[in-house]
Amino acid sequence: MKEGIHPDKYRTVVFKDISNDYMFLCRSCAPSQETVKWEDGNEYPLVKLDISHTSHPFYTGKMMLVDTAGRVDKFNKRYARHKK
């Protein structure tokens, strides 16, 4: 590995998946302004995640349907006059 490009100030932080409220403790250098009290009674910095292994379709095997057809139809209707 190259010297001087990797951070050296790792600390224990809590990562929280905001889609299903799953939290796990890990070492990271990710910045955080919030803190949370963990199961061991200590307070750790909190890093919020949009998706983790507990909510990602690849790991869970469940696909979440996102309604993009409604958005496309709305866009086409709004800008139909500019196509002509």
Domain ranges of the chain: 11-83
Q: For residue 8, give the H/E element and its range.
A: none
pLDDT-derived band at 71 (thresholds 50, 70, 90) equals confident
DSSP string computed for 30-57: ---SEEEE-TTS-EEEEEEES--TTT-H
> What value, to the nearest 5°, has the Cα angle with vertex 71 and ends 66 and 74?
160
pLDDT-derived band at 73 (thresholds 50, 70, 90) equals confident
The residue that leads in pLDDT, 64 or 42, is 42
Give this prediction's pTM: 0.64
Least confident of 9-18, 36-45, 70-79: 70-79
Which amino acid type is present at position 84? K
pLDDT-derived band at 84 (thresholds 50, 70, 90) equals low
